[in-house]
Structure 1
């Protein structure tokens, strides 16, 4: 079990991670990672690894949803090297998303992000995101993007 000091540091890193994403200050986001930043977006099967890919991912998300944000973030320290965040992800579709044109419609979907940390350290090594893509696409009016 990690000690309280490391637990508090990791939770502070995650608070910075979430805030920097909302503030669209992606250099700050990258700085929350130890080594190579990595995101796995489970519903789309996308993996973004390395600074360039992670920055491109964030820029594309904020083009599609300029007001993307998190609501009701709750953190759960799962084990020595994992923290799970539960939150609602919100945004308005004002740019292309997954190859589809913007609709101007908003979404709110429950989301879970599983953060892995370097053994005994404060830096994130991976963020794995789970969300209901069908609900998101339905809410923004893009069910045509769903597989038939």
Structure 2
């Protein structure tokens, strides 16, 4: 079992990670990782490994959804990870998978599993209903991409 101090440091780091994603302070977001950022987007099979790839992921998704944010955040702490449940919201105001913006908004439930090495993140694995997201923003034609690695 982890100490209360380590638990609190990890929770504070998750809060910083999520806050800086919303404010687009991505250099600070990258600092929450243990030297080598790693993201896994489960519904699309996309994996972003290293600072350059993760920064590209941040920029691409925030160009498509500049107002992307979290609501109803709940955390569950385990010894090696923190599981965060939340609603992800945003509006498609920029290019998304090569398609022009629709101006439509989405709200989907998400589970993000943050794995740790001491008090730094080593991986974020994200689960969400991609079909609901693309349908809500009026891009049902993207359903064929769901589950395919890009």
Q: Is TM more than 0.5 here?
A: yes
Is this contact kept in 2: 1:100–1:145, CA < 8 A?
no
Q: Secondary structure at the match of 2:58?
A: helix
Give CA deviations for 1:31-79 in whole Å, capped at 9, x if unaligned. Answer: 00012000000011000011100100000011000000000111100x2
Q: Which residue of 2 aligns with 1:31?
A: 31
Structure 1 gaps, min length 5: none
- Give structure 1 regions of 4+ aligned residues with deviation exceeding 6 angstroms: none
TM-score by length of 2: 0.94
RMSD (Å) for aligned C-alpha atoms: 1.0
1-structure distance, mates of 2:35, 2:79: 19
Q: Secondary structure at the match of 1:127?
A: strand
Deviation at 1:100, TM superposition (A): 2.2
Q: Which residue of 2 aligns with 1:97?
A: 96
2-structure distance, mates of 1:11, 1:60: 27
2-structure distance, mates of 1:50, 1:122: 19
Q: Which residue of 2 aligns with 1:124?
A: 121
1:147 maps to 2:144: yes
Q: Which residue of 1 aligns with 2:50?
A: 50
TM-score by length of 1: 0.96
User: How many equivalent residue pairs?
Assistant: 145
